[in-house]
Amino acid sequence: MKYVDEFRDPHKAKTLEKEIRALVSRIERARQRPLQIMEVCGGHTHTIFRYGIQQLLPDAVEFVHGPGCPVCVLPMGRVDDCVALAERPEVIFTTFGDAMRVPGSKKSLLKAKADGADVRMVYSPLDALKIAQLNPDREVIFFGLGFETTMPSTAMTVLQAQAKKIHNFSLFCNHITIIPTIKAILDSPDLHLDGFLGPGHVSMVIGTRPYDFIARHYRKPITVAGFEPLDILQSMWMVLRQIEEGRCEVENQYGRVVTEDGNAQALSAVTRVFETRAFFEWRGLGSIDHSGVRVRETFAAFDAERKFDVPNLKIADPKACQCGEVLKGVIKPHQCKVFGTACTPESPLGSLMVSSEGACAAYYNYGRIDTSRIDERRAARQSVKSTDPAYALTTRGHS
């Protein structure tokens, strides 16, 4: 298959739907409770809602929306840090557009811009470097955000800034790493997942090999998935087939892009510029060990955290906000008390309502959710939770 349309073919989708239904009918566990499969990546969440894939699947299969949208897991304190940096008179603060509207404790970057700060939207870190070259009397800061997908381009930009001696450029590094995050999810007592759709973009950089521990240690099947509707359906079929056959392996549905070993050049640039932080704070998930990176000492001249005074305060989310519970799959977005009322895409209270890849924004924007079906399934799951031996096994395996 070479073209996008082929990945959206309704006849092929129908065939896959039938295959999935047949598979699920043969899985004993699915008769007692819905199988919970987490799509780690926000891009997958977007596709699932845009194409109504949850509604296509049998009731015995439920998507759990993972924390793979970097904007969604950005804690309020880091947004406040961005605003503090942006409001310095000498600074031009550059950022990707989706981070502009994430609420801080007092304001977003968009509001800071309206209040007079020089905040500029860019499409790549190289745009920020160019702004630095054009404005030698100003300090240009790039807001580096994202998983391993965006880390290489930020690393390459820092390497270029060093090579070209552009010392009025620096990086406010908020890059995060996927493997410790998945491990934290697997260790969470709130979640009892049956399998994963692995992130496609991140895997393009890191490869499929780093997921081996999920299959080997945690005994969960995982299939790295592409982003078109047929990619998602085929990946779901592959995970369910593993469950039916009692296998736990790392499979790769996105072979047209993802390899076992990833992109060696990208990984080398990342390793040269970044080192792992001891811990990083995530919105809704708290502090996760080794889940973020910072700029290495060698590149300190390009590190905004070393160059400027960053407040670095820990700010609690608003009381009404239930982003953490949504991120952990404990509740669905529409079950948040402020969903669609105090929190909407126009006026987001939580970050899951900001990005198009956020689960709350997807629920709100695509609005084809049969909530009664989802609620029934959730209630059924809660009622078997205490008696299901699979849950007990999962809990013992993690201790």
Chain residues binding ligand SF4 by CB under 6 A are: 321-323, 326, 333, 336, 338-339, 343, 349-350, 352-353, 360
Closest distance to ligand SF4 from the beta carbon of 147 (Å): 20
Please identify, using beta-carbon distances, which residue of 73 and 119 lies nearer to ligand SF4: 73
Q: Is 171 helix (H, G, I), strand (E, B) or coil?
A: strand
| 128 close to 157: Cβ distance less than 8 angstroms | yes
| 337 close to 322: Cβ distance less than 8 angstroms | yes
Closest distance to ligand SF4 from the beta carbon of 226 (Å): 27
| 293 close to 173: Cβ distance less than 8 angstroms | yes
In degrees rounded to 5, what are phi and psi of residue 175? -70, 145
Question: CA 82, CA 69: separation in Å to the nearest integer?
Answer: 18
Closest distance to ligand SF4 from the beta carbon of 189 (Å): 20
Which residue type sits at 212?
A: D
Closest distance to ligand SF4 from the beta carbon of 378 (Å): 16
State the sign of the Cα–Cα–Cα–Cα dihedral 105, 109, 110, 111. positive
Within 8 A by CB and 6+ apart from 163, the residues are none
Closest distance to ligand SF4 from the beta carbon of 344 (Å): 8
Please identify, using beta-carbon distances, which residue of 69 and 85 lies nearer to ligand SF4: 69
Please identify, using beta-carbon distances, which residue of 224 and 360 lies nearer to ligand SF4: 360
Please identify, using beta-carbon distances, which residue of 208 and 355 lies nearer to ligand SF4: 355
| 326 close to 284: Cβ distance less than 8 angstroms | yes
Please identify, using beta-carbon distances, which residue of 66 and 198 lies nearer to ligand SF4: 66
Please identify, using beta-carbon distances, which residue of 352 and 374 lies nearer to ligand SF4: 352
Angle (CA) 384-386-390 rounded to 5° is 75
Six token digits for residue 2? 């070479």
Closest distance to ligand SF4 from the beta carbon of 326 (Å): 4
Q: Which residue is nearest to ligand SF4 (CB)?
A: 350
